Chains A and B, each alone.
Chain A
Amino acid sequence: MGLSAADPRQNPDAAFIAELRTRFRVEPEIDRVLTRKMAQRGGAPYRPVTLDELAQALSRFLAGRLDQPFEVRDLRWMTGGSSKLQVAFALDWRGLDGTAAPHSTPMVLRMSPAESIVETSRRREFEVIRALSGLIPVPQVFWEDEDAEVFPYPAMISELVPGVAKPSTDTSGQVTGLGINYGLRLRPAVTQQFMGGLARLHTANVAALDLPSFEVPRTGTNEGILRQVAMWRRIWDEDRGEDEPLMRLAANWLEDNAPVLDHVSVIHGDCRSGNFLIDESDGRITAWLDWELAVLGDRHQDITWATGLAYSHMAEDGETLLVNGMLPLDQFYAAYEDATGLAIDQARIRYYRVYNAWAATIVCIATAYRAARGGKSHQDVVLTWLNGIGGLLLTQLHHALGEAMADALAGGRP
């Protein structure tokens, strides 16, 4: 309820920050971003930025990178999502090297607020999108300003790709892209496109990708998932209002039962309907979006995220649950195995169901709460609204953890 006055997380001192950094070892780039968040928490709330201000910043930023005449025009706010500020604009220019014929490119400026529902690195997001170009449909990324040298907050500039996150026939009406219904006409094509893209993502040769801000976990160990659990434990301890015994129980269980990695995949981290754009005429995926939670790890993380109840809906028969708005669960698994040649391990499915429910709960009841409490984002009212889903997420966590613990007691692995 936020009635209590004393809260060490609202204005953390150096010792508080250092203790969390020591207790929870995370990837260096993630450590840098989380440490910056905590160091700035006691400072100013988010300051509304005008389109004129951003147009001026864009012109300054591009002047330092383009050795050619250019013009920034038609800036407009984009809605959707609950995390970052996004502004669409047109850039009149001659291309990156200045040798193309004059033309206009639709672009997106994506900028973090002072704090958001997930505190992530624009640099990692830039790197992973750049690395995946040519492998799956992604926007072309042009520049990043992770250190906010020119923009008011960390930012990234990419191509604006045409397409819609959900078809105009969908009437689910949620805040973000939850439970999207693609309809009978588009569903087969979207499913095929999604599965093909996911297969290319999960089977990509990670060693060949240029991802300097990512750590590659070793197969045959569980070090990667333990680092991820440490990251979310740290975020929970940085952001939560009050502690929650079920969350601690789950955290300990995730550490004690962390599975060994058999194959390193690029993990999207928020892999689901609503996080890719489609061409509404034929169901073709035009771009996979929202890479800020990407990590190198276990494919079961994305599989369980995509097949979560929150992104499912009933088919037209009123009886068949379609996961990710696409297929019944068993058919989804079969299609994935066919597309990737990688097996789905039910023990790891159970583990990652706990992991994902736990992480999603942290996002919605800890980080969303903390960012809004400090007035740190451009849409605090959206963040406090998302607090409302906490009970449902905790129910999912309770269910997933209960099943996994019962399975372990019965003699199986987690």
Chain B
Amino acid sequence: MIPEIDVQLAAVIKALGDNVAPALDPANPMAAEQLHLAMATLAIVRQRLPDLHANLRCDLAEAIALAGRIGAGTGAAEAVLTSPESSAQRLESEVRALKEAITARIDAVRGTADEARVARAVMEAAQAPILRWRSWASGMGFEPDPAAVPPLADLLAG
């Protein structure tokens, strides 16, 4: 069995907390601040790494839907989404390409009769990925009311 990433990350966090933090120079507050954030970042990565692939699939499905709705064209994106062999890198690459196509479409309809319809579609489609972003980062201390943000698992399942 290859090394288990979750255990490795947990071990690194423990080493930093148990052995590195007490050895810091108290006269170096930047070192203490950055160690604290480094440990917190590793904890978030450990928590979210298993959800990376599912989140990218959601991003791509939503981008395909929006592109179709506003006539931006979806290229090979649907095939990438449905293929079980699509890597995280491939999914992300398609998301980026689609977002470029969508923004190009937003510019293309600017000042035309289609502008308001496209704007409405973009506004509506923005809500789900934004909420997922907030849920992904809900443990990072920025949310005024973290309990109001749905759990990531619920959003990925929906």
Contact = CB atoms under 8 A, between A and B. Distances in A.
Interface of A: 1, 3-5, 76-77, 79, 173-175, 241-246, 248-249, 252, 256, 309, 378-379, 381-382, 384-385, 388-392, 394-395, 398, 401-402, 405, 409
A379 B126 contact: no
A242 B95 contact: yes
A363 to B, nearest CB: 14
Given A382-B34, A382-B37, A405 B52 contact: no
A1 B119 contact: no
Contacts of B34: 379, 381-382
Given A245-B102, A245-B122, A389-B137, A77 B28 contact: yes
B103 A391 contact: no
A3 to B, nearest CB: 4
A82 to B, nearest CB: 10
Interface in B43-77: 44, 52, 56, 66
Given A245-B66, A381-B38, A391 B107 contact: no
A252 B110 contact: yes
Contacts of A405: 119, 123
B112 to A, nearest CB: 12
Nearest to B27: A76
Contacts of A79: 29-30, 33
Nearest to A255: B110
B122 A249 contact: yes
B92 A3 contact: yes
A379 B103 contact: no
B110 to A, nearest CB: 6
Interface in B105-158: 106-107, 110, 116, 119, 122-123, 125-127, 130-137, 140-144
A245 B131 contact: no
Contacts, number: 113
Sorted nearest first, the 5 A-B pairs with minimum C-beta distance are A391-B133, A388-B137, A391-B134, A388-B140, A248-B103
Nearest to B94: A4
A400 to B, nearest CB: 12
Interface of B: 27-30, 33-34, 37-38, 40-41, 44, 52, 56, 66, 88-89, 92-93, 95-96, 99-100, 102-103, 106-107, 110, 116, 119, 122-123, 125-127, 130-137, 140-144
Contacts of A398: 123, 126-127, 130
Given A391-B136, A395-B130, A249 B99 contact: no
Contacts of A378: 30
A273 to B, nearest CB: 16
A242 B130 contact: no
A246 B140 contact: no
Contacts of B40: 385
29 contacts: A3-B92, A4-B92, A77-B29, A79-B30, A173-B141, A175-B37, A175-B141, A243-B103, A244-B99, A244-B103, A245-B103, A248-B106, A248-B107, A249-B122, A252-B110, A379-B30, A379-B34, A381-B34, A382-B34, A384-B41, A388-B136, A388-B137, A388-B142, A391-B135, A391-B136, A391-B137, A392-B137, A394-B126, A394-B130
A385 B35 CA distance: 12
B126 A1 contact: no
A395 B123 CA distance: 11
A181 to B, nearest CB: 13
A245 B125 contact: yes
Given A243-B103, A385-B41, A405-B123, 15 more contacts: A3-B93, A77-B29, A79-B29, A79-B33, A174-B141, A243-B99, A244-B103, A245-B106, A245-B126, A246-B123, A252-B106, A379-B34, A388-B137, A391-B130, A391-B137
B46 to A, nearest CB: 15
A77 B123 contact: no
Contacts of B100: 243
A76 B31 CA distance: 13
